[in-house]
């Protein structure tokens, strides 16, 4: 699914992590939820009808049910639960070990790693030019700090020992950790 290779959702965990797969279905258009529940899950039709009737903020529960059910079919129940827990932790502000992680060498940060390079390397942007557009549109945060310029450099103290969340837009993130 998806219109481009960069925006595609793959069944293989090597191409699309279970977390990103789960997030894709949590973020589907509201109008598609009922149709996807019918086409892609084994939920009873009366349950799908109940979920399809939800509106507004309650529709989030239907999307989470869709995401969990489809992820369980493709990646297994354990991976679906891990993805759901990771999403709750990450978007509840906690982060945690369940969020997809990107390891950055300490030498790269010391050498002046640009945030746009980190976005591309972490898989949050299809290219450096896409990363630049994200920054210019105000859609990038490193921890609590909003990245405001394409020349922004990651500072060594910004990456916590247990990792720091790098957000690309409202829905995509990676936990950045410093490796050797």
For the chain, the domains span 18-91, 101-179
| Superfamily, domain 101-179 | RNA-binding S4 domain (3.10.290.10)
Per-residue pLDDT tens listing for the chain (180 residues): 555 555 678 899 888 889 889 999 999 999 999 999 999 999 999 999 999 999 988 999 999 999 999 999 999 999 999 999 888 877 765 555 667 889 999 999 989 999 999 999 998 998 999 999 999 999 999 998 999 999 999 988 899 888 899 999 888 888 899 986
- Identical topology for domains 18-91 and 101-179: no
Cβ burial 146-174 (10 Å sphere, 16+ → b, else e): ebeebebebeeebbeeebbbbbbeeebbb
Q: Which superfamily does 18-91 belong to?
A: Tyrosyl-Transfer RNA Synthetase (1.10.240.10)
Q: What is the pTM of this model?
A: 0.69
């Amino acid at each position: 699914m998806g219109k481009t290779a960069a925006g595609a959702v793959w069944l293989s965990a090597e191409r699309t992590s279970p977390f990103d797969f789960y997030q894709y279905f949590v973020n589907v258009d509201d109008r598609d939820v009922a149709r996807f529940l019918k086409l892609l899950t084994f939920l009873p039709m009366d349950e799908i009808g109940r979920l399809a009737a939800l509106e507004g903020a309650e529709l989030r529960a239907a999307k989470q049910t869709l995401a969990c059910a489809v992820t369980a079919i493709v990646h297994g129940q354990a991976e679906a639960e891990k993805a759901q827990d990771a999403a709750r932790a990450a978007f509840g502000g906690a982060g945690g070990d369940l969020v997809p992680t990107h390891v950055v060498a300490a030498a790269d940060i010391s050498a002046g790693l640009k945030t746009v390079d980190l976005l591309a390397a972490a898989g949050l942007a299809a290219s450096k030019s896409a990363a630049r557009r994200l920054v210019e549109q105000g859609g990038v945060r490193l921890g609590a700090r909003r990245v405001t310029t394409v020349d922004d450099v990651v500072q060594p103290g910004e990456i916590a020992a247990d990792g720091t969340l790098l957000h690309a837009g409202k829905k995509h993130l990676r936990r950045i950790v410093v490796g050797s």
